[in-house]
Amino acid sequence: MNHRWLVKFGKLAQPGSRGELVGSIIVVAIAYGLAAYVAVSLPGLHQIGTAVWPSAGIAQAALMLGGFRLWPAIALGINFYDLIHSGITIPLLGLFGCTGATVQAVLGVWLFRRLGGSNVFDRVSNVLKFLVSGVLIAPQINCTCGVLALCLTGNLPWSEFATVRWGWFLGDAMGILVFVPLILMVAQLQQQDWQRITRLRRHKSTRRSLLRTLWLGLLLGSSGIVFWAQTEADIARYPLEYLPFPLVVWAGMQFGPRAAAVGSFLISAIAIGGTAFGMGPFVAKASSTQQAVLFLQAFLGVITITSMVLSAAESERSRSARSLAALNRELEQRVARRTAELAAQTDRINDLLHNILPAGVAEQLASGSQTVAETFNDVTVLFADLVDFTSFAAQHPPTVVVQFLNDVFCTFDDLVEQYGLEKIKTIGDAYMVVGGVPKPRSNSAFAIAHLALAMQQAIGQYRKPDGSPFRLRIGIHSGSAVAGVIGMKKLVYDLWGDTVNVASRMETLGQPGRIQVSQAAFDRLHSYFHLEQRGTIAVKGKGEMITYWLIGELSSHQDSDPGLHLHPPS
């Protein structure tokens, strides 16, 4: 089906060029005149200004869609109606009629906008504004002008002024109430809406299609039975006129405001047609045609207003639900993003924590422990110091010195990781390593000895400006110590105890390019490594101590030495 004509209808009252404006005025005028002609052509309903005057709704809807510059269409429409209905126009009646109908439409739209109304159907407050401005206030103008013209020209006695004015008002009000919502609904449908409806019609489930078909069939069937019943039939005398109305309410909640507007219009059209031909409950219960018309108008007012209010309320509810769902989705996305960011940040913190602390200690701190300190009975500590580094640092820029230290210490770090040991810290050009913490291991001294030999070999790759290699002083001692993290800021895993002090003395009292070990370290290493006794040296705070030089590993134990394993068993 081609829906382009409906799209053009939606844009009809939004003309751009002058030619489009003239065309829009002509189309609205023709629609106005033809609607009036059809209304007065129905039998019975021409009395009291007609029960439902569709032209009033067409006029107000046109100005709502296209603005006030379409007002000439109303005057042209009235003259067109006079021409096709009676062929003559009475000047005074024509003047009053044109003025009243035009001012009525303009005032209704102006008041609606003045009250802050926009879309009639999107909010209950807008529906109420439309009812007050367009249905209650604006129709007072046309009925007053029209009846006044009839009385002034002698076509109506002044005694009937109020009665005829009231009927005229109800006809215009009902026309606005019934036709404005329908016209606006159709006009608001854009091409993409019809394409979407077509797609829905093709792809919707059979169940939903059956629901729509069943709803339409029940609505038309029940309305026809109620409003086209013969007046002498029993059904016409029962209060069944509101029987189809729940279907309109259900359609508004199930299918939206457009379905409610279409349903209300269909019931109204069927009720008007039945009453026009002298059938249905209104004629059966009324003592006169005038009373039947009043019953009809009351019915139309109730169902149309109620359906509009309920549809607007449902539209607000649906919009609020969609907005809430969108907010929930946005909140969930934000929470997911923040959770991911927090997880990433936590991972970075954990990575940093594991980089500066042993894994077990980092996990204890992450779990909430304030202080992590533990005594280890058998550890081996190594101190290494670059010989002549002070003079080298004095001869080079700080950036060069720092880069050199970084290269050397990164090499040492790789070796420490290779032998499964724990780097404690660097102090200037000094490098401290321990074996046996944070997890105790019986062969930590072997791993430390292998590390010391590997460090001596690695430092030979680095040369001084004169071409000579850098050398290390290394000291090793074994014993007990306390290891852990204390304090709350700038957490560092450190080692405390006499073993640390003695290992430091072994390094400072050593010789360049040699590895000095204590008696305790010798006792753990002599079966697997080649060591030479240095002799007795004076150690501050310890007195005389016998120390040894670590030369290398014994060839007879190279394959059996536990220290050769990258991660010796504990």
Q: pLDDT per residue over 47-57, tens digit each?
A: 544 678 889 99
Is residue 356 assigned to a domain? no
Domain co-membership, 211 together with 179: no
Domain co-membership, 14 together with 76: yes
Domain co-membership, 420 together with 310: no
Is residue 197 assigned to a domain? no
Tokens of 20: 């489009």
Residue 446: its pLDDT value, please? 95
CATH number at residue 521: 3.30.70.1230
Are 442 and 378 in contact, with CB atoms under 8 Å apart?
Answer: yes
Name the one residue in this structure whose structure tokens are 């705070």: 541
Please report, as a single letter, which amino acid is at residue 111: L
Is residue 162 assigned to a domain? yes
Are 374 and 485 in contact, with CB atoms under 8 Å apart?
Answer: no
Q: What are phi and psi of 434, to 5 degrees?
A: -135, 150
224: helix, coil or strand? helix
* pTM of model > 0.85: no
Q: What are phi and psi of 431, to 5 degrees?
A: -135, 125
Number of domains into which the chain is organized? 3
User: What is the secondary structure of 466-535 as a DSSP string?
Assistant: TSPBP-EEEEEEEEEEEEEE-SSSS---EEESHHHHHHHHHHHTS-TTEEEE-HHHHHHHTTTEEEEEEE
Nearest 5 degrees, angle CA 190-CA 193-CA 194? 95
CA dihedral sign of residues 274, 280, 281, 285: positive
The Cα–Cα gap between 503 and 477 comes to 5
Nearest 5 degrees, angle CA 543-CA 548-CA 551? 160
Element (H, E) at 454: helix 444-459
Which residue ranges of the chain lie beneath pLDDT 70? Answer: 1-16, 43-50, 87-92, 117, 189-205, 231-237, 353-371, 488, 556-570
The Cα–Cα gap between 131 and 112 comes to 9
pLDDT tens-digit readout, 44-91 = 544 544 678 889 999 999 998 888 899 899 989 988 888 887 765 556
Alpha helix locations (H) across 357-440? Answer: 359-366, 389-394, 398-418
Q: Which DSSP letter does residue 557 get?
A: G
CATH number at residue 76: 1.10.1760.20
Is residue 268 assigned to a domain? yes
Residue 474: its pLDDT value, please? 97
Domain co-membership, 305 together with 395: no
Domain co-membership, 423 together with 318: no
Alpha helix locations (H) across 158-288? Answer: 161-187, 191-203, 206-227, 245-255, 257-276, 281-285
Q: What are phi and psi of 529, to 5 degrees?
A: -125, 155
Domain co-membership, 140 together with 252: no
Residue 274: its pLDDT value, please? 82
Where among 288, 317, 337 does a domain terminate?
337
pLDDT tens-digit readout, 394-442 = 888 999 999 999 999 999 999 999 999 999 999 989 999 999 988 888 8
Q: Which DSSP letter does residue 381 get?
A: E
Are 142 and 59 in contact, with CB atoms under 8 Å apart?
Answer: no
How far is CA 441 from each of CA 135, 378, 450, rounded to the nearest angstrom? 94, 8, 15
Is residue 467 assigned to a domain? yes
Query: Largest Cα–Cα distance of the chain, in whole Å?
Result: 145
Nearest 5 degrees, angle CA 501-CA 507-CA 509? 95
Are 297 and 174 in contact, with CB atoms under 8 Å apart?
Answer: yes
The Cα–Cα gap between 429 and 405 comes to 7
Nearest 5 degrees, angle CA 524-CA 525-CA 526? 110
Q: Which of 570, 567, 568 is nearest to 418 (CA)?
A: 567
Tokens of 152: 């002034």
Pair type for strands 472-485 and 372-386: antiparallel
Are 130 and 120 in contact, with CB atoms under 8 Å apart?
Answer: yes
Is residue 117 assigned to a domain? yes
Residue 241: its pLDDT value, please? 79
Domain co-membership, 59 together with 159: yes
Domain co-membership, 558 together with 487: yes
316: helix, coil or strand? helix
Domain co-membership, 208 together with 185: no
Where among 315, 337, 359 does a domain terminate?
337
Name the one residue in this structure whose structure tokens are 């300190």: 373
Residue 4: its pLDDT value, please? 45
Q: Which of 148, 170, 171 is nearest to 160 (CA)?
A: 148
Is residue 344 assigned to a domain? no
Residue 49: its pLDDT value, please? 43
Domain co-membership, 427 together with 539: yes
Q: Give strand ranges (E) for 7-164.
A: none
Are 483 and 438 in contact, with CB atoms under 8 Å apart?
Answer: yes
The Cα–Cα gap between 362 and 460 comes to 35
CA terminus-to-terminus distance, the chain: 84
The Cα–Cα gap between 350 and 85 comes to 90
Nearest 5 degrees, angle CA 18-CA 175-CA 73? 20
The Cα–Cα gap between 160 and 383 comes to 120
Are 531 and 525 in contact, with CB atoms under 8 Å apart?
Answer: yes
Domain co-membership, 37 together with 167: yes
- Helices and strands in the chain: count of H runs, count of E runs: 20, 8
Domain co-membership, 26 together with 153: yes
Please report, as a single letter, which amino acid is at residue 215: W
Where among 132, 156, 189 does a domain terminate?
189
Q: Which DSSP letter does residue 11 get?
A: H
Pair type for strands 372-386 and 430-435: antiparallel
Domain carrying residue 218: 204-337
Residue 522 pairs with which residues in a beta bridge?
A: none
Residue 44: its pLDDT value, please? 56
Tokens of 263: 């349903």
Q: What are phi and psi of 235, to 5 degrees?
A: -60, -30
Is residue 343 assigned to a domain? no
